[in-house]
Structure 1
């Protein structure tokens, strides 16, 4: 039986909160300087919706701005995130490398993320995860922008018969369920307890995967 483990990136392997606030604040400062935004940076609102596709993020944060402005804001935001990642201002969660190394001896490891490809690649390269990950799949690959469809493409492309999907938000859990895979909820920074209740397993640290996954 061909099996694999599919990981989310933000809030599951990478501590996005270590770079999020600074990059978001820098982006909204540009909007304030352009007189396109008044008030504080909506960081808490971003935390609440963490895990949704980026177009939805900017529609939610800036409903009154034009699509063009939202797209420019996202481009600047991504640039700032990548800049900080390359400078190692971010961080992986505890024991990510050790756990991935142990699991990768037996299972292929894939990333399925709502993040953009360049951003995901920056994390993998900066924290030297390339030898442990078989392939990164960004939501940019899927016209629907739906994570369930992204996971489906991983299953089909790699002819998987069974897999575990590890992630912190509802989109990860739904992606597992809709593809008849095992969902493992990561009870980390951005996790919502109501969403985690829908997962088949819940972990409080990555080392617990060694118990759940044989």
Structure 2
């Protein structure tokens, strides 16, 4: 693949994209949330295991259900966001492998191995969560990912069967660019990378 995304596209999803805390009073449609999923699901995972599961919290009732799990500093930005994605991972993801991975009996790699299941689900679910953020940005939305919440409370409220586990939250909507602080520094290539 020799094509390259335009500078405008790279600005949209990386260089000019920011983590938002303040939101315009503008809804995000169910169709747009589905479009985020349809893009994010295409990113690679090991053996196409696809363990990420997402609950898009949009209704006032669901927001109130989420509120007790939030750290104080995350309440207002989450309650005012048009949508909050609970990015979770499925501890039974391997049951879908017979339909998702045709090259081998990948289900057998995981059956009866809870530690391997959890490690794989968390790693690949986190990777898919990053795809979700990139997909939302590619569709013209702003994101505010965060980890300041009580996972156990979220899991009890939204995943009582215990099969899915929350990883992180991501507020989604149309941010207020005028309320952004100056962008913080990023590490240079030499500070963070080596070529060996």
TM-score, length-scaled by structure 2: 0.29
Q: Which structure ranks higher in relative contact order (CA pairs < 8 Å, sequence separation ≥ 6)?
A: 2
Work out which of the two has the higher radius of gyration on C-alpha atoms and give 1 or 2: 2
